[in-house]
Amino acid sequence: MSDIDIEISGDIWTEILKRLPVKTLGKCRCVCKPWENLIVSTPFITAHLKHYSQNDANRLVMYRQYSTPPEKQEQYTLFLDSGKGTEGDNLEVHDTFTCPFITSKTGHHFRVVGSVNGLICLSDDLFSCTYLVLLWNPLIHKYIKLPVPLATYQVSVGAYVCMLGFGYDSRIGDHKVVRLVYIRDKNLLDTTPPKVELYSVQERRWRWVCADYLVDICVCDLKWSQCFLNGNIHWVAWERDAKTQVFERNCFLLFDVEGERFKKMKLPERLNKVNTLNLTVCDHDGKLSVMYSQLKGGFKGKEMERCEIWVKEEYNVGTSWCQVINLDLGSDISLGWIQCLRKNRDQVLGFTKRGTLVSYDPSRNEYKRPGFCGRWRSWSTCDFTESLILLDKKLDVGTYKDAGSRMKKRFTFNIDPYSHAQTMDEHEVEVRDEDEEGPIDDNIYYLSVLYTLMKFEGGKISGDLSEFLSQAGLF
């Protein structure tokens, strides 16, 4: 580049480069030093994110599948959802990558908490008291490993269940993770109000948040879901009678990420009294959505019997709920599971009874198959936005080798019961097939899961708990 090029390049180059995808920008960093300095600068990263998040044509759907042995990898695919709904329209594969981390307990996979601004929040909390939470930008191979939280099983609060929320404080440009901890009493009941702690990427630490007014409001603990929308994190919750502790009604529990305070929101009246475990909250193209699904045979079933999807047309208007999908999957439909609505609302993204990912049009009874299969209940779908977030950060930000390598990062905990101190170390391990399967431990967490199932199913569960969880597809 000549001197005159450099002199006039500021705003012009920003306008040009911010329209390029992340992988192309990675190559542009090698062109010259001025481009390198521009692309890794915080103002450019912000401008690039704003362009991609506001451009409707850039909407991506992230699909996570957990492959079966011997590969047994967490594989992620980004689809471009055009939303045209025309004949021949399909999900276009935009990118694929493999998770470079492995869970602390063999045989398990990460929970995808959610995705905000190109960061994926992963949690290693499936059926065990572990504390690993990662904020991961897969497109630039960088991540943040959150420190051990304040409320822990070993040296802090004892038996508990917890839920996470992931959001963004646009006022100060800070990503935040919220952790709700419900301590279990001797009868395995959730104690309210929960303990709430918040991690701020800018502050680089966990701190307590007041939640004293959350009495007799419980987030559904077994299959909890969350989404970030309009500055609020949303969870499906249920209210219980203050005297009898019996289920009363369903609702949304919201956390205002900027104001760091909680509030409630009503669900569609039709869903006030249904089984809370059958409700999932999600963001549909910038609008709040809730899915009600019933499984054949309860939690032991591996197919949906019916599915309803509701969308809130106006966020602040309680009566603006609209039912856009009402499917009876027990008929001749070969669809076994529905994940979410596609952008055009005429189609849903789901899975056949054989576990193949499909886009299904109920009005035409047509299937379009992107050609992906996954292990039962390993699927996760959410919106995704390309970004360069974490590229400009150095402190507490880790990187990793090519995701295709056999070397992956594993994180381990060291706990000192005398000082009540906990640290988390990381090391690279070579993944071996014989390391992948492991037995399920019967511990207090599984007993809590069992209690939760009995509470909502209204019956008793007999037999070996590990076998039941396996049949239910819960591990």
Give tens-digit pLDDT for 75-118. Answer: 888 988 765 544 445 678 888 888 888 887 655 788 899 999 99
| Angle at 98 (CA atoms; ends 93, 103), nearest 5 degrees | 140
The pLDDT value given to residue 402 = 54
Instruction: Kindly state the tokens that stand for 223.
Output: 């299959």
Tell me what percent of the residues of the chain surpass a pLDDT of 90. Answer: 29
Tell me what percent of the residues of the chain surpass a pLDDT of 70. Answer: 75
The predicted model scores a pTM of 0.85
Q: Stretch 344-362: mean pLDDT, rounded?
A: 81
Instruction: Quote the CA–CA distance of 279 and 23 in Å, as a whole number.
Output: 37
The average confidence (pLDDT) of the chain is 79
Reference 177, options 163, 188, 187, 191; nearest CA is 163
The pLDDT value given to residue 348 = 86
Instruction: Quote the CA–CA distance of 270 and 289 in Å, as a whole number.
Output: 14
Least confident of 185-199, 403-417, 422-436: 422-436
Q: In what order do the strands lie in the sheet with 304-312?
A: 279-284, 287-295, 304-312, 321-328
Assign residue 53 a region (left: φ > 0; alpha: ψ between -120 and 50; beta: otherwise): alpha
CA of 182: how far to CAs of 142, 293, 431, 475, in Å? Answer: 32, 25, 35, 22
Q: In what order do the strands lie in the sheet with 160-169?
A: 160-169, 174-183, 195-200, 205-209
The pLDDT value given to residue 68 = 58
Position with higher pLDDT, 441 vs 385? 385
Q: Stretch 68-74: mean pLDDT, rounded?
A: 63
Burial code (b: 16+ CB inside 10 Å, e: under 16) for 64-73 equals: bbbbeeeebb
The pLDDT value given to residue 286 = 86
CA 62, chain centre distance (Å): 10
| Tokens 């009503």 found at | 266
Q: What is the CA radius of gyration of the chain?
A: 23
Highest mean pLDDT among 24-38, 54-68, 196-210, 329-343: 196-210
Summarised one tens digit per residue, pLDDT across range 364-375 is 878 877 767 766
Instruction: Kindly state the tokens that stand for 166.
Output: 């992931």
Summarised one tens digit per residue, pLDDT across range 36-52 is 888 999 999 999 999 98
Instruction: Quote the CA–CA distance of 186 and 237 in Å, as a whole number.
Output: 22
Residue 442's pLDDT band, with cuts at 50, 70 and 90, is very low
Residue 443's pLDDT band, with cuts at 50, 70 and 90, is very low
Strand (E) or helix (H) holding 437: none
Are the C-beta atoms of 145 and 423 separated by less than 8 Å? no
The pLDDT value given to residue 142 = 93
The pLDDT value given to residue 395 = 80
